[in-house]
Chain A
Amino acid sequence: MSDEPLTAEPTGALPVAALDDPHQLPYARHPARAQAVAVVSMTIGILGCIGFGIAYWISDQTQWEAITLGLGLLGLGFGLTAWGKYLMAQGPFVEERHPFNSSEEEVKAMTAAITQRGGIVVGRRKLLGGLFAIGSLAFGVVAAFPLIRSLGPKPGRSLFVTNWKKNSPLVTVDGRPVHKNDLEVGGVLTVFPKGFAGSSPDQTILLRLEELTPEDPPLSLASPGRSDWTALGYVAYSKMCTHLGCPVGLYQQQTVELVCPCHQSIFNVLAGAVPEFGPAPRPLPQLPIKVRDGFLVAQDGYNQPIGPGFWERP
């Protein structure tokens, strides 16, 4: 910077730099060229802005609008930056500061004003203070309305039960009843109770596994007491993840696992859909099914609430 020692005293007049001071020269080695660049850039920017107006006027093409407006702003910005960067005197410049502290008189006057104001002015506006307090109270009460409203209506039993009832026929999303020959071994189908096709809480994933014969080792398909909940190798589980309710629609038929796409919970179908990985806290509820007149029906509804946990869940 400068070779002179810095002084705290104000100098009065602005320093006048010598004409050959390198700090006063532009950064660009060829200012004329730099100016030409800035001119071209700003011209492009102007054309872009005009083009935006035209594009906006004659068509609804958002792409053209974005391109022209982007070009306009970019051209102007580039021109401005080039101007400031290459054509302005490059500096750095030093501006001396004036003394910060106030004079004795000013300090006294200010102190007196503050003390007086504190003693007299405040305390006379009880009316306004009271009004503001009432207003705040009213606002506080009103602001609680949406909060209270969002708590209701009470869900009642709706979280505990689904539309699956005793002997509910299994239907596809199109409402077609599911025949016992519809799925091949290794197949998968999303089913609903008849009359509720497409209803999210009722969605159930129907899988067909290899049927086990009595000669096979003890049925590991289901948890204890569920050995007759399957039919012909068909097994059905709620499709709502017990973590946050995503559809557990990813079925790996070779490893016989269901995977939730949201947080990668993995359910072991052969062990009653217990979660073996991921954040899901409980097994998928199993729907007991049977074959009646060649079509699949539910033996009964789910024996527990489906989907994620909630406050009153047993």
Chain B
Amino acid sequence: MRSLFRGRFLVPALLLVSVGLFGLLVFSPGSSSAASDSGSSGFANSGSSGAGLKTSSGQYPQTPGISSSPQSPSGDGIYNVALPKSFIAPGQALFAANCASCHGSDASGTARAPNLQSLGAGTVDFWVSTGRMPLADSSIQATRKPPRFNKLQSLEISAYVQSLAPGGVKVPTVDLSNANVGNGARLFTLNCAACHTITGAGDALANGAYAPSLHYAATRQIVEAVRSGPGNMPRFGPGNISNADVRDITAYVHSYIQHPVNRGGFGLGGIGPVGEGFVGLLIGVGALMLVCFWIGDRT
């Protein structure tokens, strides 16, 4: 055993252990720390939870996604949030300070940035609340990052843009109590897994674009993304995927995708055989080599 700690074994051993630990840390983001609920974890927005908001048919639940009172006549689990008029003025101030330099003071777009009018509050809320806007740099694709604005501010900006022109995607709140997770898994496989992969880890697309990981998405953001089709993502309207189906997909992403059941222990991020083979080769074969060194060493 002593020979392991001599010079010529120390370096490969340390290298192996550190690379192995690094790999486990990097490849296991979804196994434990995924967003537990909309608005209460790592990447999701913190702060005010929509005080004073009302749904189209009742009180805005304090914690979207857990509300157990389906009050909408359709009962499909997705309710549009009616943003109060009082949000517009502070939203306009935030917009003027943070967004107008690229999108124009009336959000009608400039040479640098697209027109936001009639995209709807839900679209704006998705981009702002996931931290993609304001843009960090003008690369191929806006990346998810800790949001600059809290949830209330994001909704205020959304309310302002919504007030400029009608139409677009509304800000939703999701009631998962009646969701059919099995149906959600089926629909996820049919519609989402092609790009986001079956584990929701995300994957590369063409020309530097990529489908992002779903592990940090809040329920509200999932619905907004499906309905608005941000960036390169296709847009799925109610004619294609009904509200109840979107609720089921959201429930599936919220449960099994964000809290995967890894029977083998480490999920390694669910990025497929390349990552698993890499870890197996590096750690498994590397450890075997160290054992061989130890057995054969006679000096």
Q: Which residues of A contact B (CB under 8 A)?
A: 27, 81, 85, 90, 173, 179, 181-190, 247, 249-255, 257, 259, 261, 264, 266, 277
Contacts and interface: CB of A to CB of B under 8 A. Distances in A.
A182 B235 contact: no
B236 interface: yes
B239 A179 contact: yes
Contact of A247 (B194, B209, B231): B194
A81 B1 CA distance: 11
Contact of B237 (A184, A251, A254, A266): A184
B234 A266 contact: no
A259 B194 CA distance: 10
Interface string B273-295: 00000000000000000000011
Contacts, number: 69
Given A90-B298, A190-B190, A259 B206 contact: yes
Interface in B3-22: none
A187 B209 contact: no
A250 B240 contact: no
Interface string B215-240: 00000000000000101111111011
Nearest to A264: B206
| Main SS class of interface, B | loop
A183 B206 contact: no
Nearest to B3: A85
Nearest to A259: B206
Nearest to A261: B194
B138 interface: no
Interface of B: 190, 194-195, 203, 205-207, 209, 211, 229, 231-237, 239-240, 294-295, 298
B207 A253 contact: no
A43 B294 CA distance: 21
Contacts of A264: 206
Contact of A187 (B203, B240, B294): B240
8 contacts: A184-B237, A187-B236, A250-B194, A250-B195, A253-B229, A264-B206, A266-B207, A277-B206
A257 B233 CA distance: 11
A81 B292 CA distance: 11
Nearest to B207: A255
A182 B295 contact: no
B206 A189 contact: no
A250 B231 contact: no
B285 to A, nearest CB: 17
A257 B206 CA distance: 8
A46 B226 CA distance: 58
A247 B235 CA distance: 19
Nearest to A267: B206
Given A173-B190, A266-B206, A81 B234 contact: no
Contacts of A253: 229, 232-235
